[in-house]
Structure 1
Amino acid sequence: MALVVAADLRFDLEVAGRPAVHAQLRGDANRLLLEVDDAGAFAGARDATAVRALAESLAAQGVVVRVESGGRHLVSLGDVRAPWWQRRATGSRRIRVGSVRGAFTAARSRTRGTQAVLPDAALVPPTTLWPLTPTLRRPVRRPVTTTHDPARGGSPRLVLAKENVWAGERLPSYRLRERTTIGSAPDCDICLPGLEPQHAVIEHDHRDEYVVTALAGSTRVHGMRVEQQLLRTGSRLEVGEHRLVFTREEYADHGRPHGGRVGGELGRQLPQPPRDVI
């Protein structure tokens, strides 16, 4: 589907040691007209790469930009197809030359050594040069042999669930502390509208478990109203009208013996050593 745009833009290009170039971009739908005083201002050697990239981006959106100077058609960029002999001068099938002057400008852009005026990769911040090892190392996945994580980790968190989620939308996630309060008061760790000021609290106990305790209002786990309940990965916690899902990595979630589902959800699980209770 072609991109639909409307444009009416005037701008000036100023380069040290050269006269200013005036330009106007106008048009609607997916056809735009760019009128410039001097198209050669964009004919630096490094500009050629940027122009080709721009032409490919316009083509992907179904947009065509016709470039004119003094009423003469120079080139068209974007959703066009150039003949093979023009590609020798432009280096792109998405740049169609409209006149001899346009062909001269395109050919000069590949050999001219003037300063570039269009943005290119040179404006991107450089990558880390040293040390190389941290940038090339693959992420290390820790082997799962027990759910008794000595660091008492596993990134325990609550994720706010929604019925309607937009494409690409990221749901809010709340990292759990040793004691995490939930309510509508501003000083709560998880502050949600419509709740009691201090609605519920989640505490990390001496067994390395996370337990929710109702303080006021309605607190449910998997739809059942509770006063206190231990949370496991996948536990659905409902406070008021809000629904949150508890999650913790399997290597630290004691509800998954040996860090997996050997034999299925109801099958025999591999034994693991007893955990140290602090």
Structure 2
Amino acid sequence: MNGFRLDMDLDFSFTDESGAVTRGSARAGGSEIRVAVDALESFSAGGIPSLEEIRPLAKTFADRGLTVVVDGPDGHIVSLGAVASPASQRLITRSPHIKLGKLGALAPLLKRGRGPARRFSLLPPQTPLPLMPTVRRSIVRRITTTHHTRGSGRPRLIFVQDSASWNGQVPREFTLSSEIVRIGSDASSDVQLAGLEGLHAEIVHNADDEYVLVPHGKVAGSVGSTGESVLRTGARIQMGQWCLAYFREEFADHGRPFGGRSGGELAYQAPQFDPRTGTTERDGSRGIS
């Protein structure tokens, strides 16, 4: 039921176990009750209710349209009931009916070491206002890699056809099931393609479970034109009139840096050093427009 009106003009004092005297007042002239105390030491020694106890009380005040404002010697501490609590504070109090006051006024209640009976914290220990994340910025995490078995993820080459020449058929695929796959025009090639050199390129499955393109003829596309290139999902290999794309299921693609992947990451990846091999691996998507 809403519409409560209170009229109050009360002065009070109490003495704690150490003999310290705390004085205060309670004033009301409508729906707001303002409580003020001249010291907080007695409270921080062990008499403050927990947030779990305050939440239902604050909701009761709000249901009745009442607001209780508590002030300390350093300013406003907390308001309960019909208040406009900021979203950032709700993350702390887990209640829309509790509005925290000034950090300076709250500080005496947050101090530690005032006795084993202390049960109170309106804030998580040592968390300032406004709410700030507690982040360790210097953590060095060890990069891991996939745990799937060697050669898994169905590594394969897919013959790419552009929109002008595509006939609507599923592109041809060649599964990389051998440790070395030879590509060229020779009859002995595993992938025989007319118009290429006899041995135009090789794809080698190395000891790190990576598939590496070793060019012998002219190679373009998203791989390096010279030297070996570690293949990543989505990499394109252009040899003469032939364009092939490399694919391996993501769960088994070691990726960069040897635990992620380059294909589909929507951003250029800077060269990264792989301590397993002592080599610097470049972005597998380089050259893709």
TM-score normalized by the length of structure 1: 0.39
Q: Which has the higher helix share?
A: 1
